[in-house]
Amino acid sequence: MAMEHFTTAVEGAFTILSEHVNGASSGALHTSRKQALDVLREVGVPTTRHEEWKYTNLAPILANDFLPAIGPTVPVTRTILDGLALSDLDAWHIVLVNGVMQPSLSNLPDADPDIQIEELSDETSAGTIAAATTNPFVAVNATLMSGGVSIRIRANAVVDRPIHVRSIVQTDVGATLCTPRIVMQVGAHASCTLVETHHTVGRSKGLTAGVTEIDCAEGSSVAYTKILDDGENGHHIGTTAVNIARAAKATATTACLDGTFVRNDLVMRLNEPTAEAYLYGVSVLNGSQLADNHTVVDHRVPHCHSEELYKGLYDGRSVGVFNGKIFVREDAQKTTAYQSNHSLLLSDNAVVNAKPQLEIWADDVKCSHGATSGQLDPEAIFYLQSRGIGKDEARGLLTYAFAAEVAEHVAHDEVREHLERRIAEKLGARRFDH
């Protein structure tokens, strides 16, 4: 019931968009929206019978009757923005409200030849990296996206200042669905840092069906950090797809720190030889929070390398899901691909479902995966005690360290420090002295 209502709401918004945006019920944009909507109708909103949603039940989430919104329903003020995470980060801040870029609330480079940030005016240019073909929420996004952000980094540019996209779902008018789209193109041999944060602002619940597409051209280096640290009203279903060209390196770090419901789909495609992909993830949950991380590393060609480390710390009645697919296609000889996934269960009622999935069609490759779940190592606790650190303190320190192993892969100092601090706060744990 809730599921049908959701699709109907998306259809309704599509009809309004067709009639009012650009006035066109024909043309390329209309066609691509219609195609995406057809995918949603065909695939439907997934139930737990769907293999990709086996451990994550959407029915209670979608029972909130989210209505799509495009652009601000009520103005979002600077004061609100200033209260959100990383607002004082020395960065180019790009603010999207209900999926639409707000230049007046953003802090954008002024005629910087290296970076071009603008509203995604031609939505048909999106979807080449994250195509709306099978994933119903990518289809939702493709049906409704309007005015997201396009970021272009010029070839050979070294952009030290992070680019921070802050996507806000504004919910004062009622339970709201927003569909932000971020499209980033990184030129050859350029390097940059992209930080993505999501917030629900307002009295009602918010659901974000976001899509981020990143194209890493030859020899480029991209550090991408997605932080889900929303309030109780926050629900997030997001896909990030990354294409990695020859000798390019992409690092994606996904942190699920707060918010009621998070589902991340991360797809890293190694499209040309010597491409490198690094995937890191950390979830720190409590209460009845849920974080579901699905990752795909697609080795399509020979001589590529990938490393993946996902960790979860689950307290209360929280639920963690990790599904990590690695495809090594027939041509992808000399692939090295490593995956590990470790979970710490901090309460008897917390649950984690972990599923590594390696499909290897080439025969000359090095691949490994490892998964553990359990409690803190008693020997490690004793080791700390034997150095004069009290038992409870030792537990806290080790719990923090367990999560910090992921955060330490974030290269940007301020962003890493922010993550480490938030992890410690969430755990109520002391950090080791610095």
Q: Which is nearer to other proteins, 115 or 389 (CB)?
A: 389
Q: Which is nearer to other proteins, 361 or 382 (CB)?
A: 382
- Write down the least CB distance from residue 400 to other proteins, Å: 8
- Count of residues binding other proteins (CB under 8 A)? 27
385 contributes a contact to other proteins by CB under 8 A? yes
Q: Which is nearer to other proteins, 348 or 433 (CB)?
A: 433
Nearest to 313 by CA among 266, 378, 257, 231: 257
Is 243 in a helix, a strand, or coil?
strand
23, 88, 113, 387: which one binds other proteins (CB under 8 A): 387
23 contributes a contact to other proteins by CB under 8 A? no
11, 112, 119, 393: which one binds other proteins (CB under 8 A): 393
φ, ψ of residue 204 to 5 degrees: the values are: -100, 180
Q: Which is nearer to other proteins, 299 or 342 (CB)?
A: 342
Q: Which is nearer to other proteins, 361 or 432 (CB)?
A: 432
377 contributes a contact to other proteins by CB under 8 A? yes
Q: Which is nearer to other proteins, 390 or 428 (CB)?
A: 390
- Write down the least CB distance from residue 404 to other proteins, Å: 4
43 contributes a contact to other proteins by CB under 8 A? no
Distance CA 136, CA 155 (A): 34
218, 367, 380, 416: which one binds other proteins (CB under 8 A): 380
319-358 b/e with 16+ CB inside 10 Å = b? bbbbbbbbbbbeebeebbbbbbbbbbbbeeebbbebebeb
- Write down the least CB distance from residue 279 to other proteins, Å: 17
- Write down the least CB distance from residue 322 to other proteins, Å: 18
Give the helix/strand (H/E) hosting 429: none
Stretch binding other proteins (CB under 8 A), from 105-113, 114-122, 152-160, 390-398: 390-398
- Write down the least CB distance from residue 254 to other proteins, Å: 17
151 Ramachandran zone, left/alpha/beta (phi>0; psi -120 to 50): beta
- Write down the least CB distance from residue 77 to other proteins, Å: 39
Identity at 76, one-letter amino acid code: V
Stretch binding other proteins (CB under 8 A), from 90-98, 269-277, 352-360, 375-383: 375-383
Q: Which is nearer to other proteins, 222 or 397 (CB)?
A: 397
280 contributes a contact to other proteins by CB under 8 A? no
Q: Which is nearer to other proteins, 304 or 389 (CB)?
A: 389
Q: Which is nearer to other proteins, 17 or 398 (CB)?
A: 398
379 contributes a contact to other proteins by CB under 8 A? yes
Could you give the string, one character per residue 395-424, with x where binding to other proteins holds by CB under 8 A and - elsewhere?
--xx-xxxxxx--x----------------
3-state secondary structure 7-44: HHHHHHHHHHHHHHCCCCCCCHHHHHHHHHHHHHHHHC
Distance CA 327, CA 349 (A): 33
371 contributes a contact to other proteins by CB under 8 A? no
433 contributes a contact to other proteins by CB under 8 A? yes
390 contributes a contact to other proteins by CB under 8 A? yes
Is 254 in a helix, a strand, or coil?
strand
Burial of 428 (0-12, 13-18, 19+ CB in 10 A): exposed
395 Ramachandran zone, left/alpha/beta (phi>0; psi -120 to 50): alpha
23, 79, 388, 413: which one binds other proteins (CB under 8 A): 388
Nearest to 170 by CA among 87, 59, 80: 80
Give the helix/strand (H/E) hosting 98: none
- Write down the least CB distance from residue 395 to other proteins, Å: 12
Nearest to 294 by CA among 69, 102, 137, 62: 137
Nearest to 278 by CA among 189, 406, 368: 406
How many residues are listed for the chain in this entry? 434
Distance CA 186, CA 115 (A): 9
Q: Which is nearer to other proteins, 88 or 433 (CB)?
A: 433
Return residues touching other proteins (CB under 8 A). 377, 379-380, 382-391, 393-394, 397-398, 400-405, 408, 432-434
